[in-house]
Amino acid sequence: MVKSALQVARAAYKPKMPKALYGSVKIEEGAATQSVADQEEVNKLFPNTYGMPTLKFVEASEKTNYPAINVGVILSGGQAPGGHNVIAGLFDGIKNLNSGSRLYGFLMGPGGLVDHDYKELTGEIIDEYRNTGGFDIIGSGRTKLESKEQFDKGLEILKKLDIKALVIIGGDDSNTNACVLAEYYKAINAGVQVIGCPKTIDGDLKNEMIETSFGFDTACKVYAEVIGNIQRDCNSARKYWHFIKLMGRSASHIALECALQVQPNICIISEEVEAKKLSLDDIVTDIANAVARRAADGNNFGTVLIPEGLIEFIPAMKLLISELNDFLAHHQDEFNAVPKDEQLAYIRKSLSADNSKVFASLPDGVARQLTLDRDPHGNVQVSLIETEKLLAEMVGNKLAAMKAEGKYSGKFASQVHFFGYEGRCAAPSNYDADYCYSLGYTAAALIGAGKTGYMSSIRNTTAPADQWIAGGVPVTMMMNMERRHGEMKPVIRKALVELDGAPFKYLAANREAWAVGTEFVYPGPIQYFGPTEVCDQPTITLKLEQGK
Ligand code: FBP
């Protein structure tokens, strides 16, 4: 591999860790836990892993002798900056337990476990990937690990390689499945521990014990850099409105964090749209009015940030998607047999009257998106829906109508952008490099302590890294029951933007000024070397959440 100058220099970076992890550790147990909701049902489904205490690692005066252990690791779902450092931390952690320990990576996601596709990760291989972006060390995939057959097939290879612990690095769905696997292996006495690590740029796997999912920090900084550049361009030429869609399948954390970093003219937050029961027309009208107000001051330019998941949060769309999910879960084969040019009509006549009307009002491309392209978890692939174009077009039409009525006299030209994939494999920021390495190292400590069904947790991350707190959280603690594919299932509750939370309140308090004025901030690129106030800042979301 030809390495860039940055890659070479960055390889030497030593990630910072919580102080406790540098020496021998012992566990301090917290209180027994409960699931966030539906306690009885979740307890029933996880009799062996429910109710376990939270764990904290503290320095120990005596060194424990650990036997050598073979560990497997899986990267699951979308890429997020820092995944390689989780694996490096895990590798160093298990070698620290016992230098005879070995690490095996299952290839291309959970499918690698089922298909027995793996490679041993040696020190030489690990060194090639320290502090780099991407998941290419072993690849990732979205196969859903959920059936007993898959678990048993996986167990065959784990037994063959004498693997006693499996670390699954993934988002809420993958960690839900990790927990189901932990429960199953414990129930059958398989002798395999399962530990999860919180990953996703979307930032929606968080709770009181998991401050953030890794990759969110770096991805937002990459997007904020380019949005800042666009804003400077836009403020220079003063002739375009930029409609910028930002990744984040469901929650609007990425859009919100970017807004806090760049101070755009408009930022839509899906969770607010849902709470206020706004229609697509309401959203378009709000944007058009803001454009008209700026035009009245001679400012025919601006930026609009749009969260990727918006469509699903518009109440009428949400009802439609929910009926589509149930309908397709039960009629997928029948649907597949319908000729392509008749599929939309087939769906229209199969839906209830209200939803059929909403479905019929959508442009064909969007309607097709909602019915055809699902990920293996059954989710609509919202990243493929071009809401930025839809909104730019609809705002243009609305302004034309306003002009005809004499309510607007400006010029409107738009540019559209979608930022998502370009941030997912960026070289991890110092925050993510340190956080990820610590998560991996903590996963090794949880393995050493014989734990299963836990997620690796690092807290207090707005403080300097030596004050971070390492521990473990029972995955069942994060669960509730939700409807999936037409059935009630135990799943980790997704953390959406809280409208009474400090980050949203900060946006709400400032957005009027940002809409009318031009108060753009230009964050510039992530810095890996230099003063700590430039290189080691956590996200604004995290700082506001922690009152800093
Ligand atoms: P994860 O939740 O698996 O981390 O994925 C996040 C994400 O980047 C979403 O923001 C986006 O909607 C989706 O993945 C895109 O998926 P794909 O990579 O399959 O196109």
Q: Got the DSSP string for 337-371?
A: HS-GGGHHHHHHHHS-HHHHHHHHHS-HHHHHHHH
Residue closest via CA to ligand 1's atom 4 equals 200
Looking at the annotation, which residues are catalytic?
Answer: 202
Q: Is the dihedral of CA 197, 201, 207, 208 positive or negative?
A: positive
Tell me: is residue 30 an annotated ligand-binding position.
no
Q: 503: closest CA among 548, 464, 471?
A: 548
Query: Which pLDDT value is given to residue 259?
Result: 98
State the residue for tokens 């995955």. 475
Instruction: For residue 386, list its beta bridge partners.
Output: none
Expressed in angstroms and rounded, the spacing between residue 78 Cα and the centre of ligand 1 is 5
Tell me: is residue 239 an annotated ligand-binding position.
yes
Report whether 181 contacts 190 (CB < 8 A).
no
Q: How far is CA 324 from CA 183, 263, 288, 327, 336, in A?
A: 32, 37, 31, 5, 14
Tell me: is residue 202 an annotated ligand-binding position.
yes
CB neighbour burial string for 249-275, b if at least 16 within 10 angstroms, e if fewer: bbbbbbbbbbbbbbbbbbbbbbbbbbe
Query: Which pLDDT value is given to residue 322?
Result: 84
Q: Got the DSSP string for 21-67?
A: GGS-EEEEEEEE---SS-HHHHHHH-TTTTTPEEEEEEE-SSPPP--
Query: Which pLDDT value is given to residue 251?
Result: 96
Residue closest via CA to ligand 1's atom 16 equals 78
Q: How far is CA 487 from CA 326, 430, 482, 484, 491, in A?
A: 9, 42, 8, 5, 12
Q: Is the dihedral of CA 172, 175, 176, 177 positive or negative?
A: positive
- In angstroms, the CA 228 to CA 417 distance is 13
In residues, how long is the chain? 548
Please list every protein residue whose CB sits less than 6 Å from any atom of ligand 1: 77-78, 80, 171, 199-202, 247-249, 308, 382-383, 424
Q: Say what the ipTM of the complex is.
A: 0.97
Expressed in angstroms and rounded, the spacing between residue 77 Cα and the centre of ligand 1 is 7
State the residue for tokens 């009802």. 319
Q: How far is CA 143 from CA 107, 156, 213, 382, 470, in A?
A: 12, 18, 20, 18, 30
Q: Got the DSSP string for 274-287?
A: HHTT--HHHHHHHH
* Ligand 1 nearest atom to the CA of residue 200, by list position: 4
- Which amino acid is residue 172, in one-letter code? D
* Ligand 1 nearest atom to the CA of residue 248, by list position: 10
219: which 2 tokens? 């991805």
Tell me: is residue 422 an annotated ligand-binding position.
yes
3-state secondary structure at position 164: strand
Helix (H) or strand (E) holding 332: helix 315-337
Helical H runs in 253-313? 253-262, 270-275, 280-296, 310-313
3-state secondary structure at position 335: helix
Helix (H) or strand (E) holding 489: strand 487-492
3-state secondary structure at position 2: coil
Query: Which pLDDT value is given to residue 424?
Result: 97
Expressed in angstroms and rounded, the spacing between residue 233 Cα and the centre of ligand 1 is 29
Q: 385: closest CA among 308, 318, 315?
A: 308
Of 145, 202, 257, best ligand 1 pocket probe by most atoms within 8 Å of the beta carbon: 202
- If you count DSSP H runs as helices and E runs as strands, how many of each does the chain have, helices first? 22, 15
Expressed in angstroms and rounded, the spacing between residue 518 Cα and the centre of ligand 1 is 32
3-state secondary structure at position 163: strand
Whether the pTM exceeds 0.80: the reply is yes
Q: How far is CA 473 from CA 203, 282, 294, 358, 362, in A?
A: 18, 41, 49, 42, 43
Q: How far is CA 271 from CA 240, 312, 315, 389, 496, in A?
A: 27, 10, 10, 21, 7
- In angstroms, the CA 205 to CA 494 distance is 6
127-154 per-position pLDDT tens digit = 999 999 999 999 999 998 989 999 999 9
CB neighbour burial string for 77-96, b if at least 16 within 10 angstroms, e if fewer: bbbbbbbbbbbbbbbbbbbb
Low-confidence ranges of the chain (pLDDT < 70): 373, 375-379, 382-383
Residue 493: DSSP 8-state: P
